[in-house]
Amino acid sequence: MNRIDRLSAILIQLQSKKVVTAQHIADRFEISLRTVYRDIRALEEAGVPIGAEAGKGYFLMEGYNLPPVSFTKEEAGAILMASKLAEKHTDKSIQLHFEEAMFKIKAVLKMQEKDYLENLEQNIEVLQRPNIAAEQFPDHFLADIQSSLALKKVLSFEYFSNYNGQYTTRQVEPLGLCYYGSHWHMIGFCRMRQDLRDFRTDRIIKLRVLDELYDPEKHQSYQEHLKTFMQGTDMQESRIIVSKRISRYLGEQKYYFGLTEEKDVNEGVELTFMTSSFKGLARWLLMFGSEVSIISPDTLKEEVQMLAKETFEHHYGSK
């Protein structure tokens, strides 16, 4: 990137946040801090009113606005990819907001970029499991949770637990949102449990954002909580192949056992799982008999063999 393009990009970056550190600029453009300082000085000499706060970073002075930003066709293509992912991997509230945002983005594109997007849009698709949402779960609270996180407001909702099949009323101080296991999860301080808890957002009903504020600094960061959680569960990878004849009957259960990848192979369908316990996965696989082949690990094979032996001895061992 030449210096003129970099100066324009730095100016856009300064407009994107309240304060931008010199280190963030240096990391983004892979330049030294000395070069950052020279670039900021060049922008100031060109008449851009840039303020600086010691120990924090640079900012644009109040009232200064850039002309409307235009997109390259590559940037427009990247936005299209993001919209495809948002369409399949967010809830109804975010999908609606993103759709409205895409209309506004497309409205400011040049005709060449619009044609580029239209040609791309017909040939890009994000595939995922069928969305079999239970009627009692509206699954449209991600936007409210985002608002609560940004404004630091307490949430009140009813939550369905898969462990006991019951609803409980919770008041939670949300600390973060993350996506894993094919679902969005809210990590927050649960006042009922007096500890950090993980809530699947598609198991929430009757959510309200309260006026009460909270201080997230009083709690462990959600990143540290997730790191401890993932390490504590000692997740391990398992790979199996199921025949194509029965793959259609696996249903939602394959996601409950930590499915991370699914692909067609010559022998059938190869599934990859991340799980902390092979016992539950082994019991499930045993249901499909010879239609399943375990690629790895040997521990899972041994678990299935042991369960099969116990089942045989239970039914035929005493005869």
62-108 pLDDT, tens digit per residue, is 877 666 667 777 888 888 888 888 887 888 888 888 888 888 777 77
Helix (H/G/I), strand (E/B), else coil: 29: helix
| pLDDT, tens digit (0-9, with 9 covering 90-100), for 27-47 | 999 999 999 999 999 999 888
Model pLDDT, residue 129: 52
List the one residue out of 253, 273, 251, 252 whose CA is nearest residue 262: 273
The per-residue pLDDT for 144 is 92
* Average per-residue pLDDT for the chain: 84
Handedness of CA 258, 261, 263, 265 (dihedral sign): negative
How many helices (H) and strands (E) are present in the chain, helices listed first? 12, 11
Share above pLDDT 70 across residues of the chain, in percent, rounded to a whole number: 90
AA identity, residue 303: E
Spell out the alpha helix ranges (H) of the chain.
3-16, 22-29, 33-45, 73-89, 92-107, 111-121, 142-151, 222-233, 244-247, 253-256, 278-286, 298-316
Structure confidence by residue, pLDDT tens digits, 261-294: 888 898 889 999 887 778 888 888 888 888 999 9
Q: List, for residues 165-215, the tens digit of each pLDDT value.
A: 788 999 999 999 888 767 888 999 999 989 888 888 888 999 999 999 999
- What pLDDT, on the 0 to 100 scale, is given for residue 58? 92
Q: So what's the pLDDT on residue 232?
A: 47
Whose tokens are 């006991």? That residue is 164
> CB of 58 within 8 A of CB of 51?
yes
